[in-house]
Amino acid sequence: MSRKKELTEQYVLVRQTTSFLCRPLKEEDFVVQPVEDVSPPKWHLGHTTWFFEKFILEKFKKGYEPYNPKYNYFFNSYYETAGDRVLRNRRGDMTRPTTNEIVVYREFVDHENLEFLEELTDESSEVMDLLELGFNHEQQHQELLLTDIKFILGHNPMYPVYADFNPPVADDSGTADVTFHEIAEGIQEIGHEGGGFSFDNELSRHKTYLPGFRIMDRPVTNREFLDFILDGGYREWRFWLAEAWDWINVSGVKAPLYWNSEGSEWYYYTLSGYKNLDMNSPVSHISYFEADAYAAWKSLRLPTEAEWETACMRFGSDVNANFLESGNYMPLPEKDGTGQFYGDVWEWTGSSYLAYPGYVKPPGAVGEYNGKFMINQMVLRGGSCATPGSHIRPTYRNFFQTGKRWQFNGFRLAETND
């Protein structure tokens, strides 16, 4: 199959997937922005469409005129190269363009892009790489869309159901015993190399020394994190970094996001409704602060991203991983011994989000995609139940600020060998 044909098929699939995720929404759901981190679903539809228009059609399609020049202001996210934009925390204030107008815009740009691809003759050109970046960009927004929808619906006291699906029934039997993979000290290589897509922040592959370490064979579960809560973990300053303890006292957080206690029973909101807490599923919607505090309570630590990647390459498997395509839209208990290195929950690491040795920021707008965010954030690895399966790989570096909880974020623990 030619690269052009492959990318055309990818384009159709990626765009259809985004539309599919919006089908269960009601008209009012598309416009809500309860907090700055959460964008209205209609903004995601517009922004991902603008990306293809701005960086493909306007740049490469001869004679193309923007569908509506004002949309550049509405749907530019953070690209200084592309000009001024609506402030992130004001996206929900914009009732116009309407959702229906954005859908029409999306259909127009799709028609123009597919026509452009049909006429394209140079399969080795810059446009091919930008198209592939656009697909991966939209897949990131598919995950953001789903987690934003969960935040919107999960903060409605009616706890509305997003979609009528039936994830496995919670199993209240005991959590599987924790075992640890052991990796001897030595020089390891991490980072992307070879063919296939990668983001620039995964480059370049390089050697790094790792002392011998042990790493959990699965993420921490709800049951295990509940033990931390019941032991007073959120009330004991000794387990918390100074900034984290300030965060606790200001925010009043006492449990993971979406958890509620009713007497001695614990419940949580899922995209399939309000349910009893599944004790054996990986804990999710956890900040870095909470993951680090739990590790201190256990007298362990979070793995570095180099340790995580090394362990994933040796012990991880994406076979039967719980990704977006699984349709569960929630983390599930481990069932096949693959260690859940892929899917279910993004895993916090103890590594700051910084450039790898030899990293070179690409020129132009593409260079704004990752490089300028390499400060004050921590790295997460592995993907989640909201991540498209084709989007993830062991070298993928996600990153968020330490107090963020609205994504499907969890963690596993590690320790250095004596």
User: Please, is 208 exposed, middle or buried when counting C-beta atoms within 10 Å of its C-beta (0-12, 13-18, 19+)?
Assistant: middle
Token pair 């697909």 is found at 135
Co-location of 226 and 272 in the same domain: yes
Residue 404 structure tokens: 């963020």
Co-location of 221 and 369 in the same domain: yes
Co-location of 61 and 100 in the same domain: yes
Which is more confident, 398 or 120?
398
Tens digit of pLDDT for each residue in 284-343?
999 999 999 999 999 999 999 999 999 999 999 999 999 999 999 999 999 878 899 999
Rounded to whole angstroms, how far apart are CA atoms 108 and 134?
Answer: 17
Co-location of 202 and 325 in the same domain: yes
The domain total for the chain is: 2
Cα angle for residues 25, 29, 31 (degrees, 5° grid): 135
- Do 304 and 350 contact (CB within 8 A), yes or no? yes
Co-location of 121 and 192 in the same domain: no
Co-location of 117 and 199 in the same domain: no
Is position 87 within any domain? yes
- Do 256 and 330 contact (CB within 8 A), yes or no? no
Co-location of 88 and 227 in the same domain: no
Is position 140 within any domain? yes
Co-location of 207 and 314 in the same domain: yes
Co-location of 279 and 371 in the same domain: yes
Co-location of 267 and 325 in the same domain: yes
Look at residue 1 and tell me whether its pLDDT is greater than 80.
no
Give residue 126's domain range.
3-154
Is position 173 within any domain? no
CATH code assigned at 60: 1.20.120
pLDDT of residue 175: 64
Name the residue type at position 382.
Answer: G
Report helix, strand and coil shares of the chain as percent, to nearest 5.
Answer: 40, 15, 45
> Which whole number is the average pLDDT over 368-393?
96
- Do 292 and 244 contact (CB within 8 A), yes or no? yes
According to DSSP, residue 387 is labeled S
CATH code assigned at 366: 3.90.1580.10
Tens digit of pLDDT for each residue in 189-210?
999 998 889 999 999 999 999 9
Write down which residue in 85, 120, 154 finishes a domain.
Answer: 154
Q: What are the residues whose beta carbons fall under 8 Å from the beta carbon of 73, sequence distance 6 or more?
A: 83, 84, 85, 86
Rounded to whole angstroms, how far apart are CA atoms 45 and 102?
Answer: 7
Token pair 């452009």 is found at 116
